[in-house]
Amino acid sequence: MRRWRTITSSVPILYTSQEQVDVYRFSLPTAIIVPLLAIFLQAFLPLRFPFLAMFDLPLLVVVFFAIARRSQIAGLLTGAAIGLLQDSLTHQAIGVYGIAKTVVGFGASSLGAKIDVDNLGARFLGTVFFYMLHEVVYFVVARGMVQLSLQWSWRHELLSGLANGFLAVALFAVLDRLKQRT
């Protein structure tokens, strides 16, 4: 217990002041190409490998950008844009993914101001949490407004959340190279 306390105190996960927070920005090509690439892969890969449908690459990109930028408005706008683009590829009404990812973008950027985004554990847990939040919002909107007959499965959602969490750890490490310190 003592050792654990030493570690946590030496590497703070929770920031105590805004001065400690590193805020990053991204170049315009990166900000456009990365979300488009995520949506493209999300639409293309499950055709060849159906099990990959459990991953939500656009969601991971929303979480990454929101956490790295740490701007709530930028985060929710990024989430809304990516969500609406993802919606427009489906055959359903546009806005279900948009609303869910808007909420996630806002939440992730708010939390990003208080969490060390370079910590692997925080990235994993944060992604699992935001995946579940995304699914809950999607489920509520899809059933409540669009009246889709969705079935909630805790097992499926938790497994997908964990899978997305692991993928996020690897993906964020790659995307870190695209960061530009402000």
Partner 1 sequence: MENLITRYGAVSVLAGVLFVQVVALAVQVKRTDSKQESTRLLRVWAVSTITPLEKALVWAQSSANDIFRNYFYLRGVRAENRELKQEIQRLRLEQVRLADDAEQARRLQLLLGFKEKFIAKTLAAQVIGSSGSEQSRSVYIDKGTHDGIEQGQAVITADGVVGKVLRVFGSSAQVLLINDQTSGVGVILDKSRLQGVLRGTATGQVVLEKIMSDEGVQMGEVVTTSGGDQIFPKGLSVGVVQQVKTGNDSFLEIRVKLAANLNKLEEVLVVTKMDQRAPTPSEVAGTVRAVDILTQRLPSVPDKPAVDPKNPGAAPTAGPLASGTPTAPTKTSGSAASNAAVGNATAKPTGTTAAKPGVTAGATGGAGKVSAATKPAGASASANPVAGAAKSAATGGASQGVTKQSTTSSPEVLKPTTTASPGVTPGAIKPAVVQKPANSGTKAPDKSAKPAADKPKSDAPVEDNHQ
Rounded to 5 degrees, what are φ and ψ at 109? -70, -35
Q: Which is nearer to partner 1, 54 or 163 (CB)?
A: 54
77 forms part of the interface with partner 1 (CB under 8 A): yes
103 forms part of the interface with partner 1 (CB under 8 A): yes
CB-hemisphere CA count at 13 Å for 25? 4
Among 142, 168, 171, 175, binds partner 1 (CB under 8 A): 142
Q: Which is nearer to partner 1, 146 or 170 (CB)?
A: 146
Q: Which is nearer to partner 1, 3 or 155 (CB)?
A: 155
> Please, is 65 exposed, middle or buried when counting C-beta atoms within 10 Å of its C-beta (0-12, 13-18, 19+)?
buried
Distance CA 137, CA 143 (A): 10
Q: Estimate the crossing angle of helix 57-69 against helix 154-175, to 10 degrees.
A: 50
Among 59, 66, 70, 102, binds partner 1 (CB under 8 A): 102
Under 8 Å between Cβ of 86 and 42: yes
Report the interface residues with partner 1, using CB under 8 A: 36, 39-40, 42-44, 46-48, 50, 53-54, 58, 72-73, 76-77, 80, 84-86, 88-99, 102-103, 106, 138, 141-142, 145-151
